[in-house]
Amino acid sequence: MVKIFIDPGHGGDDPGAIGNGLREKDLVLDISRRIRRQLNRFNDVEVRMSREDDRFISLSNRATLANSWGADYFISVHVNAAGGTGFESYIWNGNVKSQTRSNQSIMHSEIIAQIGVRDRGRKSANFAVLRRTNMPAILTENLFIDNAAEAAKLKDSDFLEAIAKGHTNGLVSIYNLKGNGTESGTDETNGSDEEGSPPSGEISQIQSTLNDRYALSIAVDNIYGPETQGTLLKGLQTELNKQFNRRLVVDGIWGPNTRGAVVNVRRGARGNITWVLQATLLGKGFSPGSIDGIFGPKTESAVRRFQRAQGIKIDGIAGQETFTALFS
């Protein structure tokens, strides 16, 4: 059994790079989930992730989790910033084994082959997660979030799928993985369907409802990524305007005006704001049971579990602090 440890960079109060309405922490979690789902199509491979939702994990803990599990390979997924274009990958600049260099070459080539962007080269650096991991490790920098043209690619679900496919193909080549006969694996968080069939599942239903309710056209791909989260926030902003005359700009961006406009949502509440809350909790990995717009005991339990994971006040009420943790 090959053990692959995927590390979505940043998270929680560390958003990573920000630009063009995107945040690195959201993108890399989305890409990492896609890699995991793709790997589930193969036999004799097990996948773990350093984080399943929007929480902060220290660099040392990321390495410790992989080391304690006995991972065979460590992949830290990132998005670049500070000017530039293209893709680059890193290994530790210390005394690494030849296998680490060979793996980097394979991974790098497979990713470039899938996404077809400027190749910035195979590099090395003294990054903590590369230095502290016991197994071969790579850190990938997937385009530049502050480049408008590349940000447009990062907003495209198909392009994110291609980034993930490059990572997956590299692992298939390195470990000679064999398919298990399914066209698509099941993601632990979201699930998926056979390729070529219309996506189904809870996230797909949420995406379809968003499109119908708010006259939108987001991808119905059963993947909870930045586009879906931003659209849920647009739904929240729209409902706050309709129900409470908040006069918010419906832009899908969490800011002080939206934070100040939110209302407390608690057990007994019903309606579209509760529905948005439930859908966002599900996307973050905290299932509230049915996504039905009814704030019952299961929704309250999900709120409490989310609050506990975020280290915020645990009261089962979704107010400013909880919505901020969900959307920022």
Residues assigned a catalytic role: 141
DSSP string, 121-188: EEEEE--HHHHH-SS-EEEEEEEETTSHHHHHHHT-HHHHHHHHHHHHHHHHHHHT--B-S-SS---T
For the chain, where are the alpha helices, taking DSSP H only? 24-39, 59-69, 98-115, 128-132, 148-154, 157-175, 202-214, 226-244, 256-261, 272-283, 297-310, 320-327
3-state secondary structure of 246: coil
Report d(CA 313, CA 315) in Å as an integer: 6
Query: What are the phi and psi torsion angles at 62 (to 5°)?
Result: -60, -45
- 63: Cα within 13 Å, side-chain hemisphere: 15
